[in-house]
Amino acid sequence: MFIVSKSLIGLNSKKTTRNKTSTIKAPKGAFFMRSMERSMAIIRCPKCAKSISDKHKQCPHCESNIAELNDEQVLQLQREQRIKKKQMFLNHSFLALILFLGGFFCLYFLQPQEETLQWYAYTAAIGVGCIWYIINRIILVTLKKKK
């Protein structure tokens, strides 16, 4: 009876310690990131996303009071920034797609003679549109991974 209760206590204490470490882990990582940023002394303004020194109480670019913002407000602003950025790249990739398709359809339906100004323009539109689209897609994928 005594042994059983001892083992039970042992199990319980193991469980609790495991729970403790798992709950502590996440904030530890966040703290590490913060201390890294602090040692580098360069942070990003939560409002305009420009790099500034963490010694600034006010952002020199957009003049927002960083010191007055709490963690939740900072997170919210960062989230808004990420959405804005994503939207911008989505718009860009859409424009690139239009450029690509426009050039392609013009070349296909108007069939300008090769090496004329029109032909160069349509071919360039296809090339630029294609590259622009791919670059934007890659950026969007990396933005998603960062999350």
Using the minimum distance from each CB to Zn ion, give the nearer residue, 58 or 123: 58
Contact 64, 45 (CB under 8 A): yes
Three-class secondary structure of residue 136 per DSSP: helix
Q: Per CB under 5 A, does 129 bind Zn ion?
A: no
Single out the segment in contact with Zn ion by CB under 5 A; choices: 37-45, 73-81, 92-100, 110-118: 37-45
Would you count residue 126 as binding Zn ion (CB under 5 A)? no
44 is a site residue for Zn ion (CB under 5 A): no
The yes or no reply on residue 45 touching Zn ion (CB under 5 A) is: yes
In a 10 Å sphere around its CB, with 0-12 CB exposed, 13-18 middle and 19+ buried, how is residue 47 labelled?
Answer: buried
Tokens of 94: 């859409």
CB of 53 to Zn ion, least distance (A): 12
| Rounded Cα distance, 80 and 83, in Å | 5
Out of 14, 43, 47, 136, the residue judged to bind Zn ion by CB under 5 A = 47
- Token pair recorded at residue 31: 């703290």
Site membership for Zn ion, residue 43 (CB under 5 A)? no
Count Cα neighbours of 126 within 13 Å in the Cβ-side half-sphere: 12
Q: How many CB atoms lie within 10 A of CB 131?
A: 12
Residue span 58-77 as binding mask against Zn ion, x where in contact by CB under 5 A, dash where not: -x-xx---------------
What CA–CA distance (Å, rounded) separates 3 from 97?
A: 72
Site residue total, Zn ion (CB under 5 A): 6
Comparing CB distances to Zn ion, the nearer of 52 and 126 is 52
Given the rule CB under 5 A, which residues bind Zn ion? 45, 47-48, 59, 61-62
